């Protein structure tokens, strides 16, 4: 354990699998105490992540919460502050998608994706900033966006939510940088997660070849960048979007 985050308190949304799980375990392994959330049905997985953190010598605690529900976000932070001395780092990682062409996208689907991917991070950022201002010691907020923020055929709601998340990131950075609250975004490309495991084999192979690496990224590679932005090493980085996309900056047309 390197101790880079000794004494630091983390709150991570969407921490039960994929990129979020890698962030939780990575932070805990480096000395942080981590409170992470997932929806209520994720409780068994949350317990497994807690056990994995303990096995690595770290500390993590699962709180069932849906970031689309404001009361759940408040309860998440209340639980976190009951266990942590302070909240130093907040990571907005929770995200969903409901892929469909624009004319087939229902208003219900649009609202669902925007509620989780944008409204949720807004509520989380608002509470995080409030706590960090009260603590008086600044803090770090890292939002996990997506390179689909440039637009994606077949997933307009997801792309729009991630583009808006980048704007939210820059706005928070500009509003609170003088109070030593740094806010950045990590922009993953194609990563081996639950969202990409359902791709057809031929599509996966073609998409992997868009990168000179010839593969999808790993959750741990994205988590490493998140943890850098959460660390003292990134003390002059704010309002930025750091790509972890294997040199891929745009998504080809995908409608099936």
Which pair of structure tokens corresponds to residue 234?
A: 């990134």
User: Which is the catalytic residue, given 112, 158, 213, 243?
Assistant: 158
How many angstroms from the chain centroid is the CA of residue 195?
14
69 exposed, middle or buried (CB, 10 Å; 0-12, 13-18, 19+)? middle
Q: Give me 85's structure tokens.
A: 């001395």
DSSP string, 9-67: EEEESS-SSHHHHHHHHHHHHTT-EEEEEE-GGGHHHHHHHHHHHHHTT-EEEEEE--T
| Alpha carbons 134 and 93: distance in angstroms, whole number | 24
112: annotated active-site residue:
no
Instruction: Give residue for tokens 């994995």.
Output: 52
**Distances, alpha carbon 224 to alpha carbons 60, 120, 200, 230, 249, in Å:** 18, 23, 28, 10, 19
Q: How many other C-beta atoms lie within 10 A of the C-beta of residue 157?
A: 24
Residue entry with tokens 């080809």: 252
Indicate which residues carry an active-site annotation.
Answer: 158
């Amino acid at each position: 354990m390197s101790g880079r985050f000794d004494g630091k308190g983390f709150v991570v949304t969407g921490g039960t699998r994929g990129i979020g799980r890698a962030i939780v375990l990575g932070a805990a392994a480096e000395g942080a105490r981590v409170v992470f959330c997932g929806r209520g049905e994720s409780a068994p997985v949350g317990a497994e992540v807690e056990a994995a953190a303990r096995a690595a010598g770290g500390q993590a605690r699962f709180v069932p919460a849906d970031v689309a529900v404001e009361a759940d976000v408040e309860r998440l932070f209340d639980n976190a502050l009951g266990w942590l001395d302070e909240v130093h780092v907040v990571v907005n990682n929770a995200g969903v998608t409901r892929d469909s062409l624009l004319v087939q996208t229902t208003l219900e689907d649009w609202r669902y994706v925007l509620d989780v991917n944008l409204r949720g991070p807004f509520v989380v950022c608002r509470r995080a900033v409030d706590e960090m201002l009260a603590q008086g010691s600044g803090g770090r907020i890292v939002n996990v966006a997506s390179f689909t923020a440039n637009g994606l055929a077949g997933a307009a709601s997801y792309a729009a939510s991630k583009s808006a998340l980048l704007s939210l990131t820059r706005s928070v950075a500009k509003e609170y940088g003088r109070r030593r609250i740094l806010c950045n975004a990590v922009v993953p490309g194609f990563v081996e997660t639950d969202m990409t495991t359902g791709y057809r084999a031929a599509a996966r192979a073609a998409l992997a070849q868009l990168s000179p690496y010839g593969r999808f990224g790993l959750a741990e590679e994205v988590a490493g960048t998140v943890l850098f932005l959460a660390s003292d090493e990134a003390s002059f980085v704010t309002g930025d979007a750091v790509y972890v996309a294997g040199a891929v900056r745009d998504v080809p047309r995908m409608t099936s």
